[in-house]
Homo-oligomer: A and B are copies of this chain.
Amino acid sequence: MADDLKRLRSEIEETNLALLELLNRRARIVLEIQRFKTEHDIPAFLPQREQEMLAELMRRNTGPFSNRTIHQLFSEIIGASAELIDLGREVVALPRAEPMIVRVGGEMIGGEQPIMIAGPCAVESEAQMETVAGFLAGLGVRFLRGGAFKPRSSPYSFQGLGSRGLQILADSARRHGLLAVTEVMDPRAVEEAADSADMLQIGARNMYNYDLLREVGRCRRPVLLKRGFSATLDELLWSAEYIISEGNEEVVLCERGIRTFESQTRNTLDISAVPLLQLRSRHPVIVDVSHAAGRRDILAPLGRAALAAGANGLMVEVHPDPDRARSDSQQQLSPDEFVRFLAEVGFPGTARP
């Protein structure tokens, strides 16, 4: 009896090894096809072919595995092969290619020093932006954020100053030698925003807005792409690919918290996203601590944690007078609080001469 069991087990082992050999053989053919396609400039990925393969295999299947199981196992095998090859322009490539540096004006995102993007949630007035810009420039911060178009849950909430807001932001940034970062929501407004801002932001709510992604992919500005608050990391990388596939490779990824059951924070900062995105893509990764926390009192520990995890920069909301802010008043730092925040996270910026 023990012999029978032994024999069956060694049959399993033989089959395992034969499967191992076949799987790797399949992977080699896939790589060869890929090389061939690249040489001859043939599109890499044909989802229809995949479906046909699966259908064929289910037709040929005689069991004991069900068609469902066969579909699932081969989807895994096809998926594993796909990971081997260069999807699009390498966003998803493993192992990590040389990390890239995204240049905005004279600044580098992804270089040795982490960057800091700061400024109010929304551009509210010239006076407000002038105050903030001067203050930030004095602290050595190089990136000024400010929303001209604000995505708000309610159509009756303050929606931003629009074009005038863009102008105020650009003027304040220029006067103080800062780089302006601003969100775009409407594909028809991308050109105008690209004319005045140095970097365009795609907000969490628009991570799946593919026509918008394509539009910023066609403009000549670096893009800060925020993770949707329920987007998987895969989906974030695919959204980056929408931008890249239009010709704009200057994409910075931004983790800003995901939606979970925990209600002490506005979102749950997914700190693992930082190393995982860096393992799986070449793009710099920054962390927006303000939207993750939704409260001021834990921003410094979160900022420190993000940098310790390897983030290439932080984004923080700073307002001259948070209690009077027209949006997000709970999470914006006052100037004093921001100075403390910089010290607590150990930001190496220094005032320009």
Contact = CB atoms under 8 A, between A and B. Distances in A.
User: Among the interface residues A25, A155, A245, A306, which one has the most CB atoms of the partner chain B within 10 A?
Assistant: A155
Interface string A295-318: 001100110111111100000000
Contacts of A228: 230
A163 interface: no
A154 B238 contact: yes
Nearest to A53: B16
A238 to B, nearest CB: 5
Interface in A50-105: 51-58, 60-65, 69-74, 76-77, 80, 83-84, 87-88
Contacts of A19: 19, 22-23, 26, 74, 77
Nearest to A244: B155
B57 A16 contact: yes
Interface stretch (A109-117, A139-147, A171-179, A206-214): A206-214
User: Among the interface residues A22, A88, A158, A272, which one has the most CB atoms of the partner chain B within 10 A?
Assistant: A272
Contacts of A28: 64
Interface string A15-27: 1111110111111
Interface residues of A, number: 132
A292 B279 contact: no
Contacts of A259: 230, 261
A307 B308 CA distance: 9
B301 A47 contact: no
A286 to B, nearest CB: 14
Contacts of A195: none
B40 A1 contact: yes
Nearest to A52: B324
A36 B7 CA distance: 12
Contacts of A8: 29, 32-33, 36
A11 B208 CA distance: 37
B308 A47 contact: no
User: Among the interface residues A8, A28, A324, which one has the most CB atoms of the partner chain B within 10 A?
Assistant: A8
Given A51-B323, A272-B292, A208 B205 contact: yes
Contact of A61 (B24, B25, B71, B87): B24
Interface of A: 1, 4-5, 8-9, 11-13, 15-20, 22-33, 36-37, 40, 42-45, 47-48, 51-58, 60-65, 69-74, 76-77, 80, 83-84, 87-88, 151-158, 185-189, 205-206, 208-212, 214, 228-230, 232-235, 238-239, 241-242, 245, 258-265, 268-272, 274-276, 279, 292-293, 297-298, 301-302, 304-310, 323-327, 329-330
18 contacts: A1-B40, A13-B56, A16-B57, A24-B64, A55-B324, A153-B238, A155-B242, A187-B188, A188-B188, A188-B211, A205-B209, A259-B261, A268-B268, A276-B298, A301-B308, A305-B308, A305-B309, A308-B308
